[in-house]
Amino acid sequence: MGASVKSHMDYAHELDLVVRPESSVPFLERELGYYVGSGFPLFSIGGGYFRHVLQQVLVGFHARRGYLIVETPILASSDLFKLSGHMDFYRKNMFVLDIEGKEYVVKPMNCPFHLLIFMSHLARYRGKVKLPFKVFEAGRVHRYEPSGSLYGLLRVRGFTQDDAHIVTPESDSRDVVFSVYEEMITLLDSLFNIKVNSENLYIRLSVSDKNLIGREFMGTVEEWEGAEGVLEKVSRHIEEAYKIRRSVGVGEAAFYGPKIDLMMVLKGEGGVKEWQMGTIQFDFNLPRRFKIYDAVKEIYGDLNVYVIHRALLGSIERFLGGYLEHFKGRLPVVLAPLQIAIMAIKTGEREVDEVIMDRSITLKSKLLEKGFRVALKETTKTSLSGDVRNIEYTMKPPIIAYMGAREVQRNSLTLAIFNYESFKRETETINYESMHNAADALESIVAAWEEKVAKIAGPVLRIPADLSHTI
């Protein structure tokens, strides 16, 4: 890698997404990183907008696909994790603490809570609970990782999973697994502008070693054969229908069940990188421990169910890191911390400059009223190119609006809009009668991007902010 290749943390820092602890200047930032500690990403102002909008898109997306939305606590009694088996098998990856002589853990996974919720629904609503039962949470988990293994956003101790658990009858399981795959490619395309194809995605099926079932792989041979049969069929179907590559790893399943992982292959400045994203995992361990099989049989009669863990992006932090590196810090417009930068290009002539400033300030306030994140920069013809270079280097707003003497004279606004396919800005001029019309025209440009997301997740949350101090 050349010295000019930026890491995802450079981009995260430029965009004000995350405070970079190892930053040498300015001094204050280094202090912040020091006090927060390693492995716990501190999302900054820009990161706050990114996360809140993303959270809302994820909730809207899953809710529209029949997932029930929950939120579970970060800390819980270790009894829950004894029941789930984590205290026996996963203890070394967990943060454990003592509160008034009682043992608590910081949750390393959301599953035990989601299964508790399923069991409580079953107890309360009995046969009215609809199967497949799907429960979603953007759940923040913490895992102990040695400090030496931490790396930016890619390897952290605290992260958020777009996590769901599905209890499905065996008969629905193929449809369930296939629909999870479709959810993943839909989200990547509509929200992140990633068109999935055989070049950039493959699926990895991990199955048991048949000789070790009952020893290294827990559960019965029937369970493994059933679940692996489902994953085998669905993965072949994906391979054919979407022309996606597929690899099979024998003996590579988790001890609790077989799985499909979705692997992204991205070619960027730093070479080819593979990064694991979504996962679909069967589990034969937790349902036994939570007595789910028995409870289902008691209520639904002789019905076999599978318990499935799944995440579409995986860890949001890791996903963001990979995304920033590959797309050079160009976030989609709905998630970009700064969406529109207004450049007020002053001339030195008082009367003209008054109009330029008046229109620029009015435009900014109208855009804020519409819910956008905007910034206004006063500049001059001579410093304009340096100022633009600077915002391309830092906040990278998808839209830059220029207001100068020419624009004032023509009642126009010059826009430079980032095109995510050509990866270049395209210039467009809009004419207006008042700044009200100009703001409407800008709104319709952003709305076209929002519309794509709205189709899969409902109206996009607009969180307005005046971020003028960042450019």
Active site residues: 111, 143, 161, 163, 165, 259, 309
What Cα–Cα distance (Å) separates residue 387 from each residue in 216, 282, 393, 471? 60, 53, 10, 8
CB of 114 to Zn ion, least distance (A): 7
Question: Per CB under 5 A, which region of 103-111, 197-205, 423-431, 438-446 contacts Zn ion?
Answer: 103-111
Cα(362)–Cα(365) distance, integer angstroms: 5
Nearer to Zn ion, 13 or 309 (CB): 309
What Cα–Cα distance (Å) separates residue 344 from each residue in 212, 230, 359, 393, 425? 69, 60, 9, 19, 19
- Is position 309 an interface residue for Zn ion (rule: CB under 5 A)? yes
Contact 460, 366 (CB under 8 A): no
CB of 85 to Zn ion, least distance (A): 12
Mind giving me the DSSP string for 137-182? EEEEEE----GGG-BTTTB-SEEEEEEEEEEEEGGGHHHHHHHHHH
Cα(394)–Cα(16) distance, integer angstroms: 8
CB of 254 to Zn ion, least distance (A): 11
Binding-site size for Zn ion (CB under 5 A) equals 2
- Is position 259 an interface residue for Zn ion (rule: CB under 5 A)? no
Residues 52-91 that bind Zn ion (CB under 5 A): none
CB of 286 to Zn ion, least distance (A): 8
Q: Output the six-digit token pair for 212.
A: 């070790």
Residue 467 carries which side chain, given as an amino acid letter? L
Question: Per CB under 5 A, which region of 226-234, 305-313, 377-385, 459-467 contacts Zn ion?
Answer: 305-313
Nearer to Zn ion, 111 or 324 (CB): 111
**In whole angstroms, what separates CA 362 from the centre of its chain?**
34
Nearer to Zn ion, 58 or 111 (CB): 111
Nearer to Zn ion, 90 or 242 (CB): 90
Question: Which string of x and - marks every residue 106-135 that binds Zn ion (by CB under 5 A)?
Answer: -----x------------------------
CB of 319 to Zn ion, least distance (A): 17
Q: Output the six-digit token pair for 106.
A: 């910081």
Nearer to Zn ion, 177 or 446 (CB): 177
Residues 199-238 that bind Zn ion (CB under 5 A): none
Question: Per CB under 5 A, which region of 58-66, 166-174, 175-183, 308-316 contacts Zn ion?
Answer: 308-316
Question: Per CB under 5 A, which region of 41-49, 216-224, 303-311, 452-460 contacts Zn ion?
Answer: 303-311
CB of 320 to Zn ion, least distance (A): 21
Those residues whose C-beta lies under 8 Å from the C-beta of residue 409, and which sit 6 or more positions away, are none
Nearer to Zn ion, 286 or 340 (CB): 286
Cα(18)–Cα(140) distance, integer angstroms: 16
Q: Which of 264, 347, 348, 245 is nearest to 313 (CA)?
A: 264
Q: First-to-last CA distance in the chain? A: 29
Residues that bind Zn ion (CB under 5 A): 111, 309
